[in-house]
Structure formats: C-alpha cells, structure tokens
Amino acid sequence: MIRGGKSGILEARPVDAEEIAWLQQGLRNVGFFSKLGRAQLEEVLPYMLLVRYDKGSIICEEGEPGDAMYLIYKGTVVVTKKDWGEPVAILEEGHFVGEMALLFGDPRSATVTTVCQTEAFCLAAEDFKRIVDKSPDMTRTLRRLAEARRQQLAHS
C-alpha cells in the first residue's frame, strides 16, 4: 500500500528513462541491493514507482505492516519513534527506508514524514516477491544479507 499521509499523494507513476539511470546508481547504495549484479538490478526497475508526496505526508507509520521500501529521490523526510523526544534521523536524496520490510514484512519500527514536497521511489513488497520468486539466486543472496543486517540491528 502506498500511503497518502495527511496531505495525500500528489502523484504516483512509473519511472522514466532519466529516473531509471538515477535508480541504477541509487539502488547500488541500498543495503542488500548493493550486492546484486547489474542484470539482477535490471529485474527490479520495472516494478519501481515514483511517488510524489506533499509536505507533512506520512510515508509509513510505526506499527503498520512493512509493505514497501522507499528510496528518497528528491526532498527530505524525518524519521521518528513514539516516546522519543528527538527525531531518529533526517534523510535526504539517496537514503532509503523500509528495506527490511521487503524480506521480513515486520511492522514498521518508526514513522517517516515528509519535511517538504518529496519524491521517493517505491517498491511494494508484493512486487518484490514476484521478482525474487523468478530468481532463486537473488532470493538466496538477499536473504543472507538481510539476515546479517537483522542480526546487526539486534545487537545495536
């Protein structure tokens, strides 16, 4: 589910050629995607949507099901947790959130809210599942990397 937040989604559309070029580079910086080869990354691109959010929109909310990951293309988001006085993080272009949701579907551990009008590439969990179902090699690689990340987060 692509959330609309308080103000709603302004636009959601497939990516164009210029955005695909940015994504090819950007996904190389996204956790477990960074370990994939070019051909494997090419399988992901057709499933990405560019979503434009208005200022103050909630992209994902703490406690909700993890149903997508987001790669910030333009704009800024703030990551907050209930009962924390300060933001967990402020993220801008090239940062990502929700990548663990693609493999584990865990509830969201934080709320992500746009600070200004923001564009983010979205990969829904159901689309990610379609991709990995076609590629057992990708599934093994991503699961191994995600499990290592999960253990790292548990110890931090």
Please give the Cα distance from 144 to 76 (Å, whole number): 30
* Residue 75 confidence (pLDDT): 97
* Residue 4 confidence (pLDDT): 46
* Residue 44 confidence (pLDDT): 81
* Residue 38 confidence (pLDDT): 74
Kindly give, in sequence order, each residue whose CB lies less than 8 Å from that of residue 92, ignoring residues fewer than 6 positions away.
Answer: 72, 75, 76
Domain boundaries, the chain: 9-149
Cβ atoms < 10 Å from Cβ of 48: 21
**One digit per residue, pLDDT tens: the chain, 156 residues?**
455 444 468 778 888 888 888 887 777 666 666 667 777 777 888 888 999 999 999 999 999 988 898 989 999 999 999 988 899 899 999 888 887 777 777 888 889 999 999 999 998 988 888 887 877 777 777 677 667 766 765 664
* Residue 54 confidence (pLDDT): 94
* Residue 2 confidence (pLDDT): 57
Q: Is the pTM of this model over 0.85?
A: no
Question: In 3-state terms, what secondary structure has residue 30?
Answer: coil
CATH number of 9-149: 2.60.120.10
* Residue 13 confidence (pLDDT): 81
